[in-house]
Amino acid sequence: MRLLGVGMCAAALTVGLLAAPAGASEAGETAQLRGAGWALKDTGKDVRFRGLAAVSRSTAWVAGSKGTVLRTVDGGRSWQDVSPPGAVAEGVELRDVEAFDARRAVALSIGEGEASRVLRTEDGGATWTETFRNPDPRAFHDCLTFFDARHGLAMSDPVDGRFRILSTDDGGRSWRVLPDAGMPQALPGEAGFAASGQCLVSAGPRDVWLATGGGAKARVLHSADRGLTWRAAESTVPAGDPARGVFALAFRDRTKGLAVGGDYRTGQASPQAAAVSGDGGRSWRQAAAPPSAYRSGAAWYPYSRGTALAVGPTGTDVTRDGGRSWRPLDSGSFDTVDCAPDTGCWASGEKGRVARLEHR
């Protein structure tokens, strides 16, 4: 589902309480990252970056409008414009990027029919290969995810009443449409949101989750066999409108998950904009104190007991109790957030905004 533009607000994020590696004391967690916050990195671009892949504290990729892809290998001090020339020439909307390291990445463009494509690089973006171009005018691809460096999936809005899933087992070099016999029927109007590259997420070698909205209910679909069969569960995030639903998922492991979303239209209320699951997405509970507004991206802080970040165009929120309660931090505008295993956390959004979580 194409996501329309949303409003802007700029500020710097100050995260006073985050978590440290598992095993540290509560006091140690608090002291170790006290005063950490978002440090903006000048990209020299004014496009919107809804695609983000955090490889480490030093390396990150962002993908966005006008076919733009940037890469940093020095913590954001400098950025290389590694945009695929064809994507730039056609001005395609890149809404997701998944990176395996500083050299290998896979990017997804969205849109009806042939506008939905997958591009792959093995040389840090010096060259790109188009590995998939959607031939079906009924399909509209939104997100992709990888289980490992070889196995990955991409999802499309429903075709013939079911979400369509692409699969790769060679790192994105080739793709095939999976059979839809194991996919539940979509609800009328139900679709995914191409808002942050997080409407399709994975954890471990086989588990994957798909977020929906637009229908009467906002649902989360789960597959434990890399997309062959799926089970749908209703979330507590309000839907019932094409602009409402679950926009992003984040799973810490195969059981503990977060869902965030709301209504992306500027000025519209987004009550109950977050939910939490402790059983792999089979059931969802409303957050007792959710973010106060629409949130489009979420990420767990590595090695923490229950710390995660949620971002949106009107601000960032943090939870330290596994998603049950969130507290606002500022009004800085970001669309997506991602954290690498070395605790390198990045966020990106409109007007070329990219930031890294740093000590002040």
Confidence of residue 3 (pLDDT cuts 50, 70, 90): low
- Round to whole Å and give the CA distance between 160 and 171: 28
Average pLDDT (300-311) is 93
pLDDT band for position 359 (50/70/90)?
A: confident
135-139: average pLDDT: 96
Does the structure show a pLDDT above 70 at 35? no
Residues 227-237 have pLDDT tens digits of 999 999 999 99
Torsion of CA 217, 278, 337, 47, to 10 degrees: -20
Kindly report the CA angle at 147 between 335 and 204, in degrees rounded to 5? 100
> What is the model's pLDDT at position 32?
39
In this prediction the pTM is 0.92
pLDDT at 84 exceeding the cut of 90 = yes
How many whole angstroms separate alpha carbon 195 and alpha carbon 5?
10
pLDDT digits (tens, 9 = 90+) for 97-126: 999 999 999 999 999 999 999 999 999 999
For residue 11, pLDDT beyond 60: no
Mean pLDDT of the chain: 91
Q: If you compute the radius of gyration of the chain from its CA atoms, what whole number of angstroms results?
A: 18
- Regarding predicted confidence, which is higher, 1 or 142? 142
Cα–Cα distance list, 202 to 33, 147, 154, 197 (Å)? 27, 6, 11, 12
Name the nearest CA neighbour of 103 among 85, 123, 83.
Answer: 123
CA distances to 27, 220, 249, 250 from 201, in Å: 32, 11, 7, 7
